[in-house]
């Protein structure tokens, strides 16, 4: 599985991708952010998590530098032992939350994705 950002014909890059870029550009390429490291911009810990999400839930906004552009992403951290400015890498997880918890049928959505781990 990849952590897909989208590059548009005007050169801009966004995560997640959209059918039209911020400047009106058409998507032309996908970039796998899982092959890059990022910097923690800010982070927090949630003690009141949705059903099936681990407690405490450490979340961060991270910034990737891709082709001389900043691309930000929000995601879970693997630990609360981080500081603003730390370097992190995306780590694939098969279950970001427990499929049986909550009101949705487990088969109705994907449960995998990426967390960010300090380098």
**pLDDT for 108 beyond 90:** no
Contact 41, 63 (CB under 8 A): yes
Tokens of 8: 């548009």
Contact 3, 34 (CB under 8 A): yes
Contact 20, 1 (CB under 8 A): no
- Beta bridge pairs of residue 59: 44, 76
Q: How far is CA 76 from CA 56, 83, 114, in A?
A: 11, 14, 8
**pLDDT for 66 beyond 70:** yes
98: number of CA atoms within 13 Å, CB side? 11
Instruction: Fill in the DSSP letter of residue 33.
Output: G
Q: How does pLDDT run across 8-19, given as a tens digit for each residue?
A: 999 999 999 999
Average pLDDT, the chain: 90
Measured CA to CA, the distance from residue 114 to residue 57 in angstroms comes to 14
């Amino acid at each position: 599985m990849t952590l897909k950002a989208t590059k548009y014909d005007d050169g801009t890059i966004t995560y997640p991708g959209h059918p039209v870029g911020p400047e009106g550009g058409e998507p032309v390429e996908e970039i796998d952010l899982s092959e890059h490291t990022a910097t923690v911009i800010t982070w927090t810990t949630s003690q009141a998590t949705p059903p099936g999400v681990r407690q405490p839930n450490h979340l961060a906004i991270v910034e990737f530098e891709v082709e001389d552009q900043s691309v930000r992403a929000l995601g879970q951290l693997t630990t609360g032992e981080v500081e603003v400015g730390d370097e992190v890498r995306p780590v694939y997880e098969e279950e970001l939350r427990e499929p049986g918890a909550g009101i949705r049928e487990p088969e109705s959505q994907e449960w995998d994705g990426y967390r960010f781990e300090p380098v």
